Amino acid sequence: MAGFDHLARVLHGTLYSAEGETVTYELNTPTGGGLTTATFDAIQAESRQQVINDRGLITKVKTKDFLIKVTQFDDVGISQPRRDDIIIAEDGQKWQVTPPATGLDYFEYSDHKQVLYRIHTKKVKS
């Protein structure tokens, strides 16, 4: 099994280098230490869910997600993503941390070992 652990680390590093980008994470509320922004490596993703609305119709919901390592938050003293925080992508687009219309929380772990946060967002209108 040790060989598989090594391959997982290599694959994870390759994914970040191939698909990742550097994002600016702006806190809605500063941390106790006064931190208001941090820079993280992230991967853009999306989630697709189906929900039943008030009239019983199935609606498809798509969210822009950012995958960010939990340790990056820990390293700067942020306990976890928070609602209404802002993620600024490399292209300058701003995304607000918010729960999707499906009733899910605004973030979840992306993997069973809880190494990556999957942070749900919506685009901030200019």
State which residues form the domain around 35.
Answer: 21-123
What is the three-class DSSP state of 103? coil
Count the neighbouring beta carbons within 10 Å of the beta carbon of residue 9: 10
Cα–Cα distance between 23 and 87 in angstroms, integer? Answer: 7
For the stretch 79-104, pLDDT in tens is: 999 999 999 999 999 999 988 776 67
Q: And the tokens for 66?
A: 């950012």
Q: Write the Ramachandran bin of 14: left for phi over 0, alpha for psi from -120 to 50, otherwise beta.
A: alpha
Predicted TM-score (pTM) of the model is 0.77
For the stretch 5-61, pLDDT in tens is: 655 555 555 555 557 899 999 998 887 778 899 999 999 998 777 777 778 888 777
Task: Check pLDDT > 90 for residue 120.
Answer: yes
Written as one string, the DSSP assignment of 90-101 is TTS-EEEE---T
Count of domains observed in the chain: 1
Q: Is residue 15 part of a domain?
A: no
Q: Is residue 5 part of a domain?
A: no
